[in-house]
Amino acid sequence: MFEEFKDVAEQFPDPFRLLIRESEVSTNDALIKLGNEGAADGLTLLALEQTQGRGRRGATWFSQTDDALAFSILVRPEEPKALWPRLALAAGVAVAEAAEAYGSPAGIKWPNDVWIAKRKVAGILVEAGKDFAIVGIGINVLTTEFPPEIQDIATSLQLENGSNPKRAEVLASIIQRFALRRNQIDRDFDSLLDAVRQRCVLTDHHVSLTTPSGSKQGTVHGIGSGGELLLQTSDGLESLIQADEVRIVG
């Protein structure tokens, strides 16, 4: 299995390179440690088994050994730190584009999920260190069974496309696309924004969500010029930079 991933890693564009570990509690946590020790831009840590993967706000990411991909990318952006949250959008587009190569349209559920056919196929978690960011990605590739609590909301490339994709090839495809999209968080941001807007599954839907100032409900009017969610509430049009537990309710 190691050899399969080592072979595709040779296709990674500079400066990306692959570090493979048999097992990690969390690839984000492990790569944060390496980042603090001086690891260079582009280091990608893949865990063949991830025992306690994390989503936003500490939520657990379900990941089956041999079926899914769990990996994190260390990025040392030249762009201002205020723009680093846009890396989640760059990663979302990269994952969606890679998924679409297997035959099904993919959508982006702002701020950090990728959907196929109204079900979650991938999750993204961006965390910032002192002078680096970690982009964690989990994607269901060959998974055909999920725990009861998520079986109605989760899916995989295999379930949606029946194409029996190879995990190593999916990884290489995501890295190749992310290598381009990460450079669009400042210059050429309009191109990245267009790709997000085209895939936004929340636009025109009534949603409920949680923000730092409390719970809100409203109708999504799309994605703003800075990548924020535009939510029409009873108090008017609001621009949300971050939110959790975003649910479509109508």
**Strands in the chain per DSSP E:** 17-24, 43-50, 68-75, 107-109, 113-116, 119-128, 133-140, 206-211, 214-223, 229-233, 236-240, 244-248
Cα distance between residue 204 and residue 200, in whole Å: 10
What pLDDT is attached to residue 46? 96
- Which pLDDT value is given to residue 61? 54
Report whether CATH 3.30.930.10 matches the domain 2-199: yes
pLDDT at residue number 119: 95
Low-confidence ranges of the chain (pLDDT < 70): 1, 52-65
What is the per-residue pLDDT for 54? 58
Give the per-residue pLDDT at 50.
Answer: 82
Q: Which fold has domain 206-248?
A: SH3 type barrels. (2.30.30)
Structural contact between residues 20 and 46, judged by C-beta atoms closer than 8 angstroms: yes
Dist CA 88 CA 164 (whole Å): 27
Q: What is the pLDDT of residue 161?
A: 86
Beta bridge mates, 116: 119
Half-sphere exposure of 193 (CA within 13 A, CB side): 14
| Pick from 136, 153, 209, 182: nearest CA to 14 | 182
Q: Where are the domains of the chain?
A: 2-199, 206-248
The per-residue pLDDT for 104 is 87
Burial string for 80-108 (b: 16+ CB within 10 Å, else e) reads eeeebbbbbbbbbbbbbbbbebbebebbb
Q: Which token pair is 222?
A: 């799309």
For residue 213, what pLDDT is reported? 87
What single-letter DSSP state applies at residue 156? -
Separation between Cα atoms, residue 3 and residue 234, nearest integer Å: 56
The predicted pLDDT at position 64 comes to 55
| Confidence (pTM) | 0.93
pLDDT of residue 52: 66
DSSP class of 188? B
- Inter-helix orientation angle 167-181/2-9, to 10°: 30
**CA angle, corner 104, sides to 101 and 107, nearest 5?**
100
